[in-house]
Amino acid sequence: MAATLRDFLFELEAAGELHRIRRPVSPRLEIAEIADRHAKVLAPTPSANAVAFDPGHAGGGGRALLFESVEGCDLPLAINVFGSYRRTEMALGVAGTGGFGAVASRLASLTKPEPPRSLGAMIGKGRELLPLLRTPPRRVRQGVCQEVVRRTERGEVDLRRLPLIQCWPLDGDPTAVGYPMSAEAAGTAGGEGRYVTFAGMHTIHARDARENKPASHNIGMYRAQLVGPTQLVMHWHVHHDGAAHWRSWQAAKMPMPIAICFGGESVLPYAATAPLPPGISELLMAGFLNGRGIPLVRAKTVPLWVPANSEVVIEGFVRTDAGPIGFDPRRDPDGLGPGAAFEGPFGDHTGYYSLPDRYPLVDVTAVTHRRDAIFPATIVGRPPQEDYYLGKATERIFLPLLKTLIPDIEDYHLPMFGCFHNCAFIAIDKAYPLQARRVMHAVWGAGQMAWTKMIVVVDGDVNVHDEAAVLRAMFTHCHFGRDVEIVNGPLDILDHAAPRLGAGHKIGFDATRRMTGEEVGGYDLTPPPPADREAVTRRLEPLAGHDAIDRITVPAVGGGRVVFASVRKTAAGQGAAAIDRIFAATDTGADFVVAVDEDADVGDWSDTFFHLCANADPGRDLHRRGARLGIDATRKLPGDERNGQPVRDYPPIIQMTETVRERVEMHRGEFGLFLAPPPAGAGCAGTGGVHAALLGKIWTWTLALASCQGTVVVLAGRRGRVVDAASCGSTPVVVGLM
């Protein structure tokens, strides 16, 4: 582990994991485009540990980047620092000692302690627990984060000089997503769509305002939009601890102190994202990972303690006279009210823009930093990005804790196409009827896993990290009239398909083998009949090109039982109509039909499942025909309401402008982009732009020609001689020189 961000960057550079960029680059879109391209190519060193649980992406992530000259800003910027498994392992100090599994084992020994059976075992257990005594934070008098102190009251603060970045073209422009409120009227024009994207937000509960050591000290990683020289606007979800703290200060009728801390020990960013139970401090987790407590220094203008080794700290108070979320200027043009701004839109980790809403302002009182500070940031967008690797670290590290809560679980996997909250694959050692459904409901009540929208449960002999194997089990065993569970419940607030903000429906598929006692819905245990994929394809091919159906595929992973259709949707009901036509065209097969928009690649099941998870609500968009199930995963329009469930606004999918792409392309060598840019959508959902079966050879050879799933992969040696190829159709795309 590294004590500071600067130390960690030196470590990465020594390992060949860092690329320095000296050419001046704009913080508006250019940095994001460069970082996004790096995120979609191979990293210098793959993680041998990650091959076991994410074989398709164990070697992805490009390099960490250090922008030494950011236009209009005073500090250099580091990005994509945690953007590979190897670098995240290095940050946690486990790159050579078992990876995330090593941390999981340490946690497991603490959460399930076994009574010692001898004096020697007792001494050994004492040694094992001894490091816990060193994990609480330590208070110190001085810290490098306060080598320079700038106070607002002295006119010394200008947040615009910090390299806050704009990630996507529509960020910060409400009119671009259909709202009749300009950025000026929203109160955010001064920030030009730039955001804090990679900082620990330190807050406490109002009840601890007078406590010397507040037990509620929390670190959350939220976004904050730049508003002007001394103001930001916060964004947090209603279930986050930071939001709960804000409500406590609002009840006390006092502004909430906040410290926004950048950098510090290399374990801090992960600790800030860890799904800890309420009341368990992220500082304790950071100390546990660090092997000793995190040093804290008293903030200069707010009653908080901050990590002494931070690069930059923004201090201030969050206004509590702001109204709640749910403001819409189309219904109440003058209702924004005091203490708030209309924050957003913002290109989010879902791959879509999160739409704007009312959030509270932060009045900044000071900015402190070290003399040679480096400012960290991340690009937020469709995975893989840095948050993908941090999220997968949580998947592995917290597996023992999840198994303690739900002992039935053998293993689980959060596929990239689900963007974490949208899908989970779970393996169980099935012992009794309907056990899979019990596990589904347990997951839907387990901490942050409760937001999971779609669950597939398989038997323990299925490799849950082999996504195709999980889907084959699902389409082999699932009777879609019998083996589907649908519930009401809370959803991620970013789920635009939910009929109501943060509330909708979830779906579970029992893909285990049937046993007596699982006769559900009037169906016996007869397995679903296999389907002739070629025959189904012949029957459905004539539908393509007619009645808004653009393309139809019958993917091999479904063996004829699964059909994907892309729809040129211009009116409500066209997605449902496409499903009906497919059901009518064949009386065998086509048991699971998914309709998506024409910008989805129905030739790639992972991309189709990305759109399915993002754009469908199980309580509104399912179309049942006995044992057949259709899912309308097209973008919903007014008139698509069904089953009493409304339709909310669907945001645009995020994509970079051609102007910015071309500008970056002109200097690609200086930006470390020795790899050609991937085609639109490449490597986003299921493959990371690399054919998983050939990863080992790709790391070995000098020239790699590759593309996403469903294309040709060619590997060439030093002199261009073709040494291996795997044909899946389509044509090769140059991914890069290595």
Is-contact 599 634, C-beta < 8 A? no
Residue 348: active-site member: yes
Please give the residue that has the higher pLDDT: either 676 or 477. 477
Average pLDDT value for the chain: 89
Residue 549 tokens read as: 């159906």
Res 107: pLDDT: 84
What would the mean pLDDT of 21-50 be, rounded to a whole number?
96
Q: Which of 54, 173, 241, 348 is catalytic?
A: 348
Instruction: Report the pLDDT averaged over residues 560-566.
Output: 98
Q: DSSP readout, 271-303? A: HHHS-PPTT--HHHHHHHHHTSPPEEEE-SSSS
Residue 1 pLDDT more than 90? no
pLDDT for 276 beyond 50:
yes
Radius of gyration of the chain (CA): 26
The residues, ordered by sequence, that sit 6+ positions from 383 with a Cβ below 8 Å of its Cβ are 349, 351, 416, 419, 684
* Calpha distance 627→613 (Å, rounded): 21
Domains of the chain, by residue range, sit at 5-132, 137-376, 399-510, 690-737
Q: What whole-number distance in Å separates Cα of residue 495 and Cα of residue 515?
A: 35
pLDDT tens across 126-142, in order? 455 455 556 899 999 99
Tokens of 189: 């024009």
Distance CA 195, CA 201 (A): 14
Q: How confident is the model at residue 676 (pLDDT cuts 50, 70, 90)?
A: very low
**pLDDT tier, 610 (very low <50, low <70, confident <90, very high otherwise):** very high
For the stretch 342-393, pLDDT in tens is 999 999 999 999 999 999 999 999 999 999 999 999 999 999 999 999 999 9
Q: Return the CATH fold of 137-376.
A: Pnp Oxidase; Chain A (2.30.110)
Which residues lie below 8 Å from residue 544, measured CB to CB, with a gap of 6+?
A: 550, 551, 552
| 311: confidence class by pLDDT, cuts 50, 70, 90 | very high
What is the predicted pLDDT for the residue at 617? 98
Helices (H) and strands (E) in the chain, counts: 18, 33
Share of the chain above pLDDT 90, in %: 84
Q: Is the peptide bond before 527 cis (omega within 30 degrees of 0)?
A: no
Backbone angles phi, psi at 106, to 5 degrees: -65, -40
Q: Looking at residue 115, what is its pLDDT? A: 54
- Helices 30-39/658-665 angle, 10° precision: 70
Report the share of the chain in percent with pLDDT over 70.
88
Q: Is the pLDDT of residue 119 over 90?
A: no
**What stretches of 535-634 adopt beta strand conformation (E)?**
549-553, 562-567, 592-597, 622-625, 628-632
What is the assigned CATH class of domain 399-510?
alpha beta
d(CA 411, CA 53): 10
C-beta atoms surrounding 486 within 10 Å: 11
Residue 710: phi, psi to the nearest 5?
A: 95, 15
> Rounded to whole angstroms, how far apart are CA atoms 88 and 98?
13
